[in-house]
Structure 1
Amino acid sequence: MTREPGLSVRLRLALSYAAFLMVAGALLIAVVWVFLLRYVPEQAVTVSGDAVPGGGPGLFIPGRSDLWRAFAPKAALALGFLLLFGLAGGWLLAGRMLAPLQRITEASRTAGSGSLSHRIALPGRQDEFRELADAFDVMLDRLEVHVAQQRRFAANASHELRTPLATSQALLDVARQDPPDDPRELVDRLHAVNARAIDLTEELLLLSRADQRSFLRERVDLSLLAEEATETLLASAERRGVSLETSGDVTPAVGSRALLLQMITNLVHNAIVHNLPSGGAVQVRTAALKGSVVVTVENTGEVLDPERVPTFTEPFQRGTARVHGDQAGVGLGLAIVESIVRAHDGHLALSPRADGGLRVVVRLPAAPPRTDR
């Protein structure tokens, strides 16, 4: 935004301080002048010596005009001193008070130039400027983490999207140099690679939609969504020898039904895929607490490193080795879950189970109770 040049805040504060002193001084002088007028006659008076007790020389009592000629220069001099003192003192005080704001301005310019590692770290006791500086530092912390995550996401997305394209190019180059007798095998392999690229693109679009919060909110029962998700994935669980168990209370929340269903589906699918080779189990529980609803998904599996578990929500991270098979997904399942939870003002917690596997807890704000009309 283009603005016309104006007076600095420091100069305006100095002028305001000087003006306040001038007004206060003028009022004080006016009060003193009025007080003196009560005891001064309008005209000068000379009292003879006979009227003075004990005799003696006569007295000259000045009038108001005489008093004004004597008082006005001193009052003007005092006001002039107050003006100079107010300007100088106001300039120094304003500079001292605005010094923290200058540091905040410099930090914002540094951040605007692309350097997010700079922090204000304003010393001193808590006040409005320190509160603003601390809030700005917290914003920079979150912004730096977010930018780093976006850079990793862009790099990983480019790598993941490049993989199917490079695979397709390699298959076509081989087919061009040595045409196969039966092209159906080539077509099937190209179809599988293309399907993976489509799935990855759709997952990226879903992740973007959740981050932008561009969805309609409605009353949703998470227990019904959990049952729907487990029924959809029951066949996949049976093929892998994994048992599915769903239990819990009615858990009303407010949000996008499609996104919340996708959230639970991703959690259940992740629990099925990253499980024991055989004889695994997945438990889905819902609970309604005071002011919130909770969805818990637990699965058996290998013993996980507690330090690696928090990284599972980063895009293109997988709980096991980076397998590029269809059933392993594209590495966006938990990243999408975290985005959906964040878009619904909820909280996502991941923790390893002591005997192996993962426990995922999603806590969302509960829907307000229905009002009967």
Structure 2
Amino acid sequence: MARAPGLSVRLKLTLSYAGFLLLAGVLLLVAAWLFLDRAPHVGLILVPNYRLAVARAFAPTAAAALAFLLVFGLLGGWLLAGRMLAPLTRITDATRTASDGSLSHRIQLPGRGDEFRELADAFDTMLARLEAHVAEQRRFAANASHELRTPLAVSKTLLELARTDPDQDTGTIIERLHTVNTRAIDTTEALLVLSRANQGTFTREPVDLSLLAEEATETLLPLAERHGVTIETSGELTPALGSQTLLLQLTTNLVQNAIVHNLTEGGTVRVHTAVRPRSVLLTVENTGDPLTPQQVSTLTEPFQRGTERLHTGHAGVGLGLAIVKTITGAHDGTLTLTPRTGGGLNVTVELPAPHSK
């Protein structure tokens, strides 16, 4: 926003200090003059032509005093304003540095807490979050580019093979192209869901998480049967406020993730919903291989598939739990992942209850 040049804050404060000091001096001199002017009437001084004499003696002294106060106010005000505004200068320099693209700089203003230090600390916190967000977005963009480039490169190779070698089995090539294309579409759709949830542009409406859990488990029942996994659902009416489409996507991703990342035989998935005084819970628990807290902490990162736990042929696109995390955050909720004793994972989504909004 273009603005016309104006006086600096330091100069304004200096003029304010000097003006206030000059005004105080004027008032003090007026009070002294009134006192001296009343002196003959109360019998304090008996001098002929008293007023004229006082005026001749008082005027130069008053002028000199006012001049001294003006100079002293300007110099003192300039120094005091500079000292008081020094933290603001550091904040301004840090802002310019950040606007040039450097987010690693911090103000770290020393001293005890006051308004300037609170502002500096808030700015440092904002820079730290912004730096982490930008780093996450860059990492995500790089991973997404890699994930989308791979199927495109495979498709190009298959097409080149079909074009240069007419003796190749066309049916096999078409089947492989279909598989690769399906994977690319799944990745793209997952990225679109993730982007939509990040933007938060959705309508909030009453939703029952228990019904969404039932719908997700019914939809994924054939997948569970193919993997030999038993699904158990429980819970009561669990009202929430949010996007039914996104929350269904969240529930489906959790249940699908629990089915796929499970034991090869005799696995179990438990889906439970509950109501608390100020929140509602959706919990998905599954059996599986043992996990360390360090492994669990990375599972919500985009394209982290935990390949050591995956069954061959169902690698997914690595965005399932990343989408869950984003949708949960967009609904002002919290996502908690905990490794189960004996193997597997416990995932809890906690959303604000409708009446707590």
TM over 0.5: yes
Contact 2:229 2:268 in 1 (8 A): yes
Query: When the two structures are superposed, what TM-score results if normalisation uses the length of structure 2?
Result: 0.95
Q: Which residue of 1 aligns with 2:331?
A: 344
- Per-residue CA deviation, residues 61-100 of structure 1 (Å, 9 max, x unaligned), is 4432332221121111111111111111111111111111
Q: Which residue of 1 aligns with 2:25?
A: 25
Q: Which residue of 1 aligns with 2:38?
A: 38
- Per-residue CA deviation, residues 139-198 of structure 1 (Å, 9 max, x unaligned), is 111111111111111111011000110111111111122224642222121111111111
User: Amino acid of the residue matched to residue 166 of structure 2?
Assistant: P
SS for the counterpart of 1:155 is helix
What are the residue-to-residue correspondences of 1:158-177 with 2, within 5 Å?
A: 158-177=145-164
Task: Say if 1:322 and 1:304 are closer, same or farther in 2 by CA, change over 3 A.
Answer: closer
User: Amino acid of the residue matched to residue 16 of structure 1?
Assistant: S
SS for the counterpart of 1:351 is strand
| Cα offset, 1:369, TM superposition | 7.9
Contact 1:353 1:359 in 2 (8 A): yes
Task: Say if 1:297 and 1:323 are closer, same or farther in 2 by CA, change over 3 A.
Answer: closer
Q: Which residue of 1 aligns with 2:300?
A: 313
- Per-residue CA deviation, residues 98-127 of structure 1 (Å, 9 max, x unaligned), is 111111111111111111111111111111
Q: Which residue of 1 aligns with 2:251?
A: 264
Q: Which residue of 1 aligns with 2:109?
A: 122
- Per-residue CA deviation, residues 317-361 of structure 1 (Å, 9 max, x unaligned), is 112349797632100011111111111111111121121111111
User: Amino acid of the residue matched to residue 93 of structure 1?
Assistant: L
| Cα offset, 1:259, TM superposition | 0.5
1:236 and 2:223 matched: yes
- Per-residue CA deviation, residues 6-40 of structure 1 (Å, 9 max, x unaligned), is 21111111111111111111112222222222223
Q: Distance in 1 between matches of 2:312 and 2:141?
A: 22
Q: Distance in 2 between matches of 1:187 and 1:146?
A: 41
Q: Distance in 2 between matches of 1:31 and 1:271?
A: 86
User: Amino acid of the residue matched to residue 317 of structure 2?
Assistant: V
User: Amino acid of the residue matched to residue 118 of structure 1?
Assistant: H
User: Amino acid of the residue matched to residue 300 of structure 1?
Assistant: T
Contact 1:263 1:337 in 2 (8 A): yes
Q: Distance in 2 between matches of 1:72 and 1:40?
A: 19
Task: Say if 1:86 and 1:325 are closer, same or farther in 2 by CA, change over 3 A.
Answer: farther
Q: Which residue of 1 aligns with 2:198?
A: 211
Q: Distance in 1 between matches of 2:51 and 2:312?
A: 105
SS for the counterpart of 2:298 is helix
Q: Which residue of 2 aligns with 1:51?
A: none
Q: Which residue of 2 aligns with 1:75?
A: 62
Corresponding pairs, count:
356
Task: Say if 1:244 and 1:345 are closer, same or farther in 2 by CA, change over 3 A.
Answer: same
1:16 and 2:16 matched: yes
Q: Which residue of 2 aligns with 1:3?
A: 3
User: Amino acid of the residue matched to residue 2 of structure 2?
Assistant: T
Task: Say if 1:290 and 1:61 are closer, same or farther in 2 by CA, change over 3 A.
Answer: farther
Q: Distance in 2 between matches of 1:181 and 1:17?
A: 90
Q: Distance in 2 between matches of 1:67 and 1:151?
A: 80
Q: Distance in 2 between matches of 1:23 and 1:197?
A: 76
Contact 1:196 1:326 in 2 (8 A): no
Contact 1:300 1:356 in 2 (8 A): yes
User: Amino acid of the residue matched to residue 103 of structure 2?
Assistant: L
Q: Distance in 2 between matches of 1:334 and 1:34?
A: 82
SS for the counterpart of 2:237 is coil
Contact 2:281 2:349 in 1 (8 A): yes
- Give the one of 235, 242, 246 matched to 2:233: 246
1:354 and 2:341 matched: yes
Q: Which residue of 2 aligns with 1:149?
A: 136
SS for the counterpart of 1:203 is helix
Name stretches of at least 5 consecutive residues in structure 2 with no aligned partner. Answer: none
Q: Distance in 2 between matches of 1:119 and 1:181?
A: 61
Q: Percent identity?
A: 66
1:300 and 2:287 matched: yes
Q: Which residue of 1 aligns with 2:81?
A: 94
Query: When the two structures are superposed, what TM-score results if normalisation uses the length of structure 1?
Result: 0.91
SS for the counterpart of 2:355 is coil
Task: Say if 1:281 and 1:157 are closer, same or farther in 2 by CA, change over 3 A.
Answer: same
User: Amino acid of the residue matched to residue 38 of structure 1?
Assistant: R
Task: Say if 1:363 and 1:61 are closer, same or farther in 2 by CA, change over 3 A.
Answer: farther
